[in-house]
A = this chain, B = another copy of it.
Amino acid sequence: MRDAPGMIEDKIRQLASGPNFGTIATLLSDGSPATHVMWVDCDDEHMLVNTETGRAKFANIERDPRVSIVVWNADDPYDYVEVRGKVVETMAGAEARAHIDELSHKYHGKAYSNPIETERVILRVAPERQRS
């Protein structure tokens, strides 16, 4: 059932589950695009990124939830996927704090130790178009 509507496609899940980097494009207040390099993750039906509530990209998605996420194979950037969709849920609190530790373990094998200036928050992105 991986290819059921709303499910993240296998190829995208595979790249997003590994220690591969991505970008998220969000929309500024004038509608122009901004892009950030990010750690990435997914669940069965969403792409997941973890940011802070004080960051510009969080303000952007609160204003307009439309995003584009690209993930490339760390060993081969020609091997990349894109998910276009909307942030359908944001989750702060303990869940987001635990998730940034999970991501840090995935990418670096240890808990997250960078300073947290505001509050960690998970952006849950429902796909509308998947390119893989």
Interface residues of A (CB under 8 A from B): 21, 23, 25-27, 31-37, 66-70, 72, 74, 77-78, 80, 82, 84
Inter-subunit contact B37/A68 (CB<8 Å): no
Cα–Cα distance between A35 and B21 once the two chains are bound (Å): 14
Q: How many copies does the complex hold?
A: 2
> What residues of B have a CB within 8 angstroms of the CB of A21 in the complex?
72, 77
Give A59 Cβ to nearest chain B Cβ, in Å.
16
B67 and A33 contact, CB distance less than 8 A: yes
Instruction: List 30 contacting pairs A-B, 8 Å CB cutoff, sorted by A.
Output: A21-B72, A21-B77, A23-B23, A23-B25, A25-B25, A25-B34, A25-B35, A25-B68, A26-B33, A27-B31, A27-B32, A27-B33, A31-B31, A32-B84, A33-B33, A33-B66, A33-B67, A33-B68, A33-B84, A34-B68, A34-B84, A35-B35, A35-B69, A35-B70, A36-B70, A37-B70, A37-B72, A37-B77, A37-B80, A74-B77
Give A33 Cβ to nearest chain B Cβ, in Å.
4
Residues of B within 8 A of A77 (CB): 21, 37, 74
In the complex, are the beta carbons of B72 and A35 less than 8 A apart? no
- Residues in B with CB closer than 8 Å to A67 are 33
